[in-house]
Structure 1
Amino acid sequence: MPRFILLFSLCLLATSSHAQEDGAALFKTVCAQCHGPQGEGNEVLKTPSIANLPHWYVERQLTNFHEGKRGSDAQADPQGALMAAIAKTLNPDQITAVASHVQSLTLVVPQERILAGADVKAGGELFYERCMECHRYNASGEQLFGSPPLVGRQGWYLLAQLKKFKSLHRGNAKGDEKGAKMVMMTTLFVEDEQVMKNVVSYILTLNPP
């Protein structure tokens, strides 16, 4: 291998390694206190598991928080408001670094498998009719559509996000095109909390053992 190519390759590896180290350090300093050292989340703090979320999704959400597209209403969304305050302390390079680290974390499988009183069969029908096209048949997400994986997220968190979309406390900000799509879906096809519990419970069954 020509010497300049070898040197260039070593530089790229060093840069990548440095970015990973920076991302890990940022995560430990900025994220772990609420989301846990493994990104497993904390129900008491109402912080979701973020472990293994794709970097492109984490980066977009942190940017949304940074730009005020999420977390602008502290009364309706206190957790989002806290995230917005934290995201505003990060520059674009730091956001990219921490997003890459989050993706490297091992998926944490929720312990819960069904929400109380849910109709999993009805939830599965709604999922295949309205959710599968973007989030895929196994809820693994699809970058092309900007749709994140739903597996690995706790049921209480998924339920809370559906409520926020339907009540216009998430996804209603100007410029949040992906969020706006979820607002439309919940407005048109999610009648009430029972329907939310049904589809969330079905999603929980898609998690690995």
Structure 2
Amino acid sequence: MKQPRRQPLACAASLAVAAILMVSPAAAQDGAAIAANGVSGAPACASCHGTQGEGNAESGFPRLAGLNAAYLVHQLASFVDGTRKNDIMPPIAKALTPEQRQAVADFYAGQKVASATAEKPDAKLLARGAALAITGDWSHGVPACGQCHGPAGQGVGTAFPRLAGQGATYIENEIAAWKDGKRGNDPLHLMSGIAHKLSDDEVKAVAAYYAGLHVAKDSPHD
């Protein structure tokens, strides 16, 4: 079937509009710009998560750099639909369009991960954390964290994020959120079940262990 011919002027106008939309800051497709400057209703992501998404370990703001883009989009959507509760993020996530969320996620997924410098925790605490991460505690029905989050916490696929180098305070806070029912956006509610089986000391141990790990240079984030 023949396609109807378009008028040259109409074609030119359409192309011009498309070009403007592609480059216009108002289209908000530039994830780096959103991260650095924010948009109407959403402050700059960098104000909490750092200029390159390195996070703020002391304040409990997570590292976003190098995390899988699909995972980040899912988390933003969870703040919007209420399956992940937080005192700060829901209004910010709601201020972003789906396209803006994707743009920001793509930007952070492409950032290099800098190893955090923090005071080394107690060796006994680290050893307990390593045991839980590598072998788990089957006497209490706790599988090894690495079964989902990969060897040395480098992350697996789009659902299980990289934990290596993530701030200990953030990890502790999120496990507490699963315990308290403030977060329920995990696959098959795996983390919700595991979190309830961990004591406070075990949570601290696992968090300290993963916070001290280096990120593999060839670890995928896409």
TM-score tier, shorter chain, comes to 0.7 to 0.9
Of 138, 153, 170, 2:166 maps to 153
How much identity, in percent, do the aligned residues show?
A: 29
Of 48, 51, 55, 1:34 maps to 48
1:139/1:149 contact within 8 Å kept: yes
Over aligned residue pairs, what C-alpha RMSD do you find? Answer: 2.7
1:118/1:197 contact within 8 Å kept: no
| Equivalent runs, 1:1-209 vs 2, <5 Å | 22-30=30-38, 31-43=45-57, 45-71=59-85, 80-112=86-118, 114-115=120-121, 119-129=125-135, 130-143=144-157, 146-171=159-184, 176-178=185-187, 180-188=189-197, 190=198, 192-208=199-215
Aligned counterparts of 2:169 and 2:192: Cα–Cα separation in 1: 19
Aligned counterparts of 1:169 and 1:117: Cα–Cα separation in 2: 31
Greater C-alpha Rg: 2
Deviation for aligned residue 1:143 = 1.0
Moved more, 57-66 or 47-56: 47-56
* TM-score (normalised: structure 1): 0.76
Aligned counterparts of 2:134 and 2:164: Cα–Cα separation in 1: 15
Paired residues, number:
180
Aligned counterparts of 1:20 and 1:138: Cα–Cα separation in 2: 36
Task: Please state which structure has a larger fraction of its residues in helix.
Answer: 1
* TM-score (normalised: structure 2): 0.71
Deviation for aligned residue 1:208 = 4.7
Question: Which amino acid is 1:51 matched to?
Answer: A
5+ residue gaps, structure 1, are 1-14, 72-79
Structure 1 residues 113 and 53, CA gap change in structure 2 (3 angstroms): farther
